[in-house]
Chain A
């Protein structure tokens, strides 16, 4: 069964079409990444699926259930790590977790147990009774993620979860996200970090201007272009050519030797695919 199914989702703000009818689905247990430039509509998509923004049209289902007809049931299944921090700064970490647990109908006992087990990963135990206001940005983000996991959502929405985190914490978080997936949670992730999508996602969707450009496995997206890329420095920027194997790429470089331009040979990555399919950089 599909964990999430989105059909022709639309949203306009005062005549401006932020989502122009997008459709996609998430298989149960997969990590699905929405990749796109600023203003593409990633956050809008997540906000609609979490009940924060009114849909302008279309349908959406969690495990076959129409979420616009059953908003409260749908919200029970979902966990959200929003792009913008939304913690109570003047409450302690524990109080933030407590309120969240009660909002999702957990008992005090469940909140304590689940909170305890999440402390392992989050490293927040020592700060549990500190006000959120006194925590660093990265710690706040970890509180945000811990909170979203507290009610054991079956579908997790992560809107740029690692923004502003140092590389160590980011890598720790990637590990955590993988572990959450292994426990059977389905994850929809948005990110600006290509390597994040490449590392985490089973499938990637490129979104641009409120439209889904293409959806596929990362390796399929890159192999559509080739295996190797040659960047050629030009007066008006960078041109990239793609080659099926190393030999043909090297032949090309040799043929350009006379012109004296700077070229670099490297492997094709997901960023190439994004640029190729959307005509833009992320």
Chain B
């Protein structure tokens, strides 16, 4: 338990020292998206009878919680390849599970910070949503899944350079295609089938529906819970692979 706390606290302290910079950098892309797609492009577009901005913001919440959850991999890479602090943790009597949970929770915390920033900007833009339990469950599960995948990828790669590959080929495309900026239903049939397997597609649907104050999508919620369990197992398995 203390091991888990130590791993989590370490990441929190690192974030704390960088908080102003993080807040700034977490604000840049949502503001850009809102300006470019929401106000610039989307003024005259409606989706399912709502202004595009109302479609876009929950999508941004989903994409951002995914990216920032996964972003914990950058911290782990720095700890592993640059500062070698990962070895300090490896030499400590901390179980792999405690380590993985500590890092995942740190990823989830990053995600909640970025989502709070988006919602703050949203409030400034005078767009209002309902933020019930299903909304936050969606954010939590989505960031949990991707933080676990971030941990996994950080354990499996052999150098810092490999990481960019994973991000460019998997994470960025998913952020665009997972029902964030346009409805998956607009795509041709076969593409839809592929997109519907992405975790982000379920997360963005769940989060959006909840934000609209409509009934909870239990199906998507169930799938996300299952994926969270699976990704946790994967991350747990990957830790031992990082030893040489």
Contacts and interface: CB of A to CB of B under 8 A. Distances in A.
Interface of A: 13, 50-54, 72-73, 75-76, 78, 80, 82, 84-91, 95, 98-100, 102-106, 131
Contacts of A104: 92-93
Nearest to B18: A90
Interface residues of B, number: 27
B9 A102 contact: yes
B13 interface: yes
Contacts of B43: none
Given A80-B91, A90-B18, A91-B17, 6 more contacts: A72-B93, A87-B83, A88-B10, A98-B9, A99-B10, A131-B17
B6 interface: yes
Main secondary structure, interface of B, reads helix
A76 B92 CA distance: 7
Interface string B164-181: 000000000000000000
Main secondary structure, interface of A, reads loop
A82 B84 CA distance: 10
B2 A105 contact: yes
Interface string B74-112: 000001000111111111111100000000000000000
B6 A102 contact: yes
Contact of A52 (B3, B7, B14, B91): B91
A103 B92 contact: yes
A90 B6 contact: no
Given A53-B244, A91-B14, A86 B88 contact: yes
Contacts of A75: 91-93
Contacts of B13: 91, 95, 99
A75 B99 CA distance: 15
A72 B95 CA distance: 7
A75 B243 CA distance: 15
B95 A88 contact: no
Nearest to A74: B93
